[in-house]
Amino acid sequence: MPELPEVEAARKAIEEHCTGKKVRRSVVANDSKVIEGVSPSELESALVGKTIIAALRKGKNLWLRLDSPPFPSFQFGMSGAVYIKGVAVTKYKRSAVSDEDEWPSKFSKVFMELEDGLELSFTDKRRFARVRLLQDPEAVPPISELGPDALLEPLQIEELVNALRKRNTAIKALLLNQSFVSGIGNWIADEVLYQARIHPLQIASRLSREDCESLHRCIEEVIKKAVEVGADSSQYPSNWIFHSREKKSGEAFVDGKRIEFIAAGGRTTAFVPELQKLIGVKSVKGKSNQSRKANPDEEEDDEGSKGEEIEKEKEIKRQPKKGKNKKVGSHRQQKVDASGDNSEEANEKEKPKKKNGKKPLAADKTQPKVVKANRNELKSLDIRAKAQAKESSKKRSGSNEASTQQKKKIRK
């Protein structure tokens, strides 16, 4: 997605070519997903007749200051881009609209014609961008929730060291967190960590002072260089991992060293295992992404975490259920086991059978185990019971006979 350098290039182009000019005409797309919280007609009315005083940016958000509020703000999302007719504005490669396409582009969301005839368009191919009309963009989300801008408000080294010590999370995920530092996206985070020789899954709080200093220096160097060349990636240094991060696994190399791809911070992450090593036992596990797409930023959602959940679910399904693979002997063998000396069978719980195709109720674990008696034991119990019954019967008959004789004597 467009990151700080791309949005800064758009801001500079508007500042250079559009400030001080009045908006003569405006056309806003009827797209409620992108145009948020305001109708197209309301936004058009708020722009027409207003003069553009300044173009401002924080992180990956841009807004225009007009001669009176409200002001339009632009959150670039995955493929937002600014076009000025007749002016070359560097854009993120997947935001690009061909010069041969109609003007304004069919992807245009906000079009403005200025008083001198200059035309400006904000486009979004994939509809993840957001355009809002706000009284004070800096005072409300999402801009109010952003951390310090990585270019305009860089953290001092001591501030960065202290902030990292408090964060028990992977460094790549932390850099992507816009409330920590705003403006760093997927490709900048990969580049910064590669240049600083830090593994993307390294726990932030376990980084050494030397690592923190290296990270601080690389954030500044990478962002300043990208902004300096107007976010034109063809002018990025040849030793940047940027140039190979979109290649397939096994075909990606930087300075002759192999690049691997994993999921970190919910995004496809390029790193060089030979140079970026995990330090200490504590690190966040990442999922290898060998079958990655050619475009690491292709999906907006957290493709890494989702992928890990899917894999875990598949693994659970593949595991055999308890008792499923247990071999069951023949009916004859079961009879022999029942009558013979089978200690395992004797100590096993009696399993309830299915009735009318319904699943049997689970046995109550709190109840004592029911031990199966073998045939010899049953026979012995039966003989003993019969003997006791016979003895009891004899006693009763003897008692009855004595009672009868006594009655006869009384009669006499």
What gap in Å lies between CA 281 and CA 9, rounded to an integer? 42
CB neighbour class for 35 (10 Å; exposed up to 12, middle 13-18, buried from 19):
buried
Please give the backbone phi and psi of residue 52, each rounded to the nearest 5 degrees, phi first: -80, 115
Of the candidates 281, 303, 137, 270, the residue with the CA atom closest to the CA atom of residue 195: 270
Long-range contacts of 371-376 (CB under 8 A, 24+ apart): 371/346, 371/347, 372/338, 372/345, 372/346, 372/348, 374/338, 374/339, 374/340, 374/341, 374/346, 375/338, 375/339, 376/339
The set of residues, in sequence order, having a beta carbon less than 8 Å from that of 22 and lying 6+ positions away, is 49, 50, 51, 52, 114, 115
Tokens matching residue 121? 């368009």
What gap in Å lies between CA 106 and CA 13, rounded to an integer? 22
Which of 50, 60, 91, 172 is an active site residue? 60
Does residue 2 carry a catalytic annotation?
A: yes
Tokens matching residue 235? 């002018």
What gap in Å lies between CA 78 and CA 295, rounded to an integer? 12
73 bridge partner residues: 63, 132
Does residue 308 carry a catalytic annotation?
A: no
352 bridge partner residues: none
Does residue 3 carry a catalytic annotation?
A: yes
The residues annotated with a catalytic role in the active site are: 2-3, 60
